[in-house]
């Protein structure tokens, strides 16, 4: 277990680097949850500037429009030197990193070096991949260094069969190689019925650890008409996810928090977290720009360059502070607003309350 004490905000954390369990105390002397950290505990690092899977149509074929607009991105991948600059600032502060960006991180030219360096600095690397053109050596590196790997679920059911062998085969290979394997499933207005059907009938690859449902956002190639609607389909999906017992764990990104508050009456609210962006996590892209939330990667409203600034300086800077202070008008009078951080700080219109 790794112990971290936040003297500024008066709480402590315990992190199990073997299974990813995080325990955070209340603010000292109170029964109030900590709402911010003096340095991010999780860094989402976009080491990739381009994506071969996107150019092959992996995501667009199943209606998952890339929030990074990766099909049109031809930026350079993050250099190993820049990555180490980040790691040096994170030592003894950050518990884990999520590797990603505009492409599959396992295709980075210095993939093994990045993973091993992360461990050398006492940080656990995790990553998400499409599984496209997956090599056995990449699987070996992931098994050796990573806490977990998530596979973006780019398969749909057609004629009672999976329509994407690449996704299914990647999951099978990760599981059989002993990697802790999760699924990331993007829930949009188009895909919510399939997600419900799979949950109700347990149609998922065998051996997975967890399924994390990611709320669709109108960012990058995303479109507003595909945002999940507040209707009986949403209620049925959440019932299938929450009330039914599964052979895997079920989780949600924190963009789902407002929906969980409204529809998840059987949930233990202590298991529901507020948006961590700019409070407990930060995103850094391949060009060394920092953002409170990765979904600001296109507009860059809160973008700050790391070229002449340190992570801590940006974390405490005016851009991030402004992001944290965004309160949607409707949320100011809501009794649960503290649980979901007063709505989406990027004002994407994705609240489901």
Reported as a single tens digit per residue, the pLDDT across 76-96 is 999 999 999 999 999 999 999
Residues 124 and 26 in one domain: no
Task: Give the closest residue to 276 by CA, choosing from 263, 294, 288.
Answer: 294
Q: Which residues of 188-207 are buried (b: 16+ CB within 10 A; e: fewer)?
A: bbbbbebbbebbeeeebbee
**10 and 154 part of one domain:** no
Nearest to residue 188, comparing CAs of 146, 233, 157? 233
Same domain, 124 and 52: yes
Beta-carbon contacts of 83 under 8 Å, excluding residues fewer than 6 positions away, are 45, 47, 110, 114, 117
Does the pLDDT value for residue 110 go beyond 80?
yes
What pLDDT, on the 0 to 100 scale, is given for residue 176?
A: 98
Q: Domain containing 94: what range?
A: 36-333
Q: What percent of the chain has pLDDT over 70?
A: 100
Which stretches within the chain are classed as H helix? 52-55, 80-90, 111-120, 136-145, 165-176, 192-201, 232-242, 257-263, 311-315, 318-324
pLDDT above 80: residue 234 = yes
Q: Please give the average per-residue pLDDT across 153-168, as a whole number.
A: 94
- Considering the domain architecture, whether residues 61 and 9 belong to the same structural domain is answered as no
Mean pLDDT taken over the chain: 94
pLDDT reading at 266 higher than 80: no
pLDDT above 90 (res 64): no
Q: What angle do CA 191, 195, 196 make, to 5 degrees?
A: 120
**Residue 269 pLDDT more than 80?**
no
Q: Are strands 249-252 and 210-215 parallel, antiparallel or unpaired?
A: parallel
Q: Is 292 helix (H, G, I), strand (E, B) or coil?
A: coil
Q: How many domains does the chain have?
A: 2
């Amino acid at each position: 277990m790794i112990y971290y004490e936040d003297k500024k905000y008066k709480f402590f954390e315990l992190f199990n680097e073997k299974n990813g369990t995080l325990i955070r105390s209340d603010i000292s002397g109170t029964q109030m949850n900590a709402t911010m950290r003096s340095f991010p505990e999780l860094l989402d690092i976009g080491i990739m500037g381009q994506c071969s899977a996107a150019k092959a149509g992996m995501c667009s074929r199943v209606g998952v429009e890339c929030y990074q607009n990766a099909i049109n991105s031809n930026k350079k991948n993050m250099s190993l030197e820049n990555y180490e600059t980040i790691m040096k600032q994170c030592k003894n502060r950050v518990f884990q990193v999520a590797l990603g960006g505009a492409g599959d991180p396992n295709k980075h030219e210095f993939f093994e070096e990045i993973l091993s360096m992360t461990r050398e600095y006492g940080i656990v690397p995790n990553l998400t991949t499409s599984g496209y053109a997956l090599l056995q050596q990449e699987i070996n590196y992931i098994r050796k260094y990573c806490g977990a790997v998530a596979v973006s679920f780019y398969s749909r059911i057609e004629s009672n069969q999976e329509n994407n062998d690449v996704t299914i085969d990647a999951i099978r290979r990760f599981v059989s190689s002993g990697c802790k394997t999760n699924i990331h499933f993007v829930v949009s207005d188009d895909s919510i019925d399939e997600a419900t059907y799979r949950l109700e009938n347990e149609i998922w690859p065998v051996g997975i650890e967890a399924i994390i449902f990611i709320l669709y956002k109108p960012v990058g190639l995303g479109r507003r008409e595909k945002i999940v609607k507040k209707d009986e389909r949403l209620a049925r999906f959440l019932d299938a996810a929450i009330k039914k017992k599964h052979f895997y764990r079920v989780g949600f990104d924190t963009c789902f928090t407002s929906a969980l508050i409204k529809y998840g009456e059987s949930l233990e609210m202590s298991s529901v977290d507020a948006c961590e962006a700019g409070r407990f996590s930060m995103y850094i892209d391949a060009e060394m720009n920092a953002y409170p939330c990765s979904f600001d990667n296109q507009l860059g409203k809160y973008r700050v360059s790391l070229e002449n600034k340190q992570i801590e300086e940006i974390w405490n800077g005016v851009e991030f502070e402004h992001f944290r202070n965004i309160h949607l008008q409707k949320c100011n009078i809501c009794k649960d607003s503290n649980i979901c951080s007063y709505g989406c700080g990027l004002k994407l219109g994705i609240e489901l309350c």
